[in-house]
Amino acid sequence: MNPIDQGSVSHHIEKHVATITFEHPLSNSLPGKVLNQLANTIADLGQDPAVSVILVQSAGERAFCAGASFDELVAIDDLEVGKVFFSGFANVINACRKCPKLIIGRVQGKAVGGGVGLAAAFDYTMATQFASVKLSELAVGIGPFVVGPAVERKIGLSAMSQLAINATEWQTAQWAKDKGLYTEIYENMEALDTGIEALLQKLRGSNPEAMQLLKKVFWEGTEHWDHLLAERAAMSGQLVLSDFTKNAINSFKKK
């Protein structure tokens, strides 16, 4: 099966907590179809009165999310297709931003590009020691334009710039915690899940209205992000058509 047609998003609700799980066999790199499903699922559960808190996680052990689908990236041949492609993670980030429920992120492994953007878009992100981060976009001739606002909002311009400029180097989970991307890091997945359950137990007993008002406060000043992220997607969509970027992508494919 074509990798673009693979992957899925599922969810279940238990004790007022909605758990969303996304997966793809290629290190949880997400094609547009799966990104759209993820954005729509977050939006729908945000309006579900049976849900007080949302947990987002990926399948597998050592890869949280390897970013957008490389197979789709290499096939882009016009600006509109490029804008749609780069709008994938923009739509998920905006869904997280607009969702009236607090979103807890479970990052069990490495996060690259859009995966870092997801971790930054969650309201409270917990991780294992294996959850290194990298913004690799510049290495293929583009730049982390779409995820940049979410990452900068969470860790600041200086740390975001470090990730964006040194695009081939991993930063450790401890670095990500020190910068504010992760709230806690755990030795392994079992300890991570124990920590998450302890937090969810507290949030189940919290005032849903107070949590929704907190969510609004946390995201004040981002009301223009629909327009901003659309602009950023267009920037990336234009760059991916350049000869420089096409050559960089082809070189990357040969590695």
pLDDT value for 245: 83
Residue 36 CA to residue 13 CA, distance in Å, equals 20
- 47 lies in which domain range? 3-204
Q: What is the CATH classification number for the domain harbouring 141?
A: 3.90.226.10
Residue 70 lies in a domain: yes
pLDDT block averages, 10 residues each, the chain of length 255? 86 97 94 96 97 97 91 84 92 98 98 97 98 95 96 98 97 98 98 98 95 97 97 93 81 65
Report the C-alpha gap between 18 and 250 in whole angstroms.
Answer: 40
Identify whether 53 is part of a domain.
Answer: yes
* 233 domain residue, yes or no: no
| pLDDT at residue 136 in the model | 93
| Residue 205 buriedness (CB in 10 A; 0-12 / 13-18 / 19+) | exposed
Flag whether 237 is in a domain: no
Residue with tokens 């909002």: 153
Question: Is 252 domain-assigned?
Answer: no
Neighbours of 152 (CB within 10 A): 18
For residue 222, tell me if it sits in a domain.
no
**pLDDT attached to residue 255:** 60
Domain membership of residue 235 (yes or no) is no
Please, what's the b/e burial string for 168-203 (b: 16 or more CB within 10 A of its CB; e: otherwise)? eeebebebbbebebbbebbeeeeebbebbeebbeeb
Instruction: Give domain status of residue 226, yes or no.
Output: no
pLDDT at 247: 80
Q: How many residues can be counted in the chain? A: 255
Which pLDDT score, from 0 to 100, does residue 74 have? 80
Domain count, the chain: 1
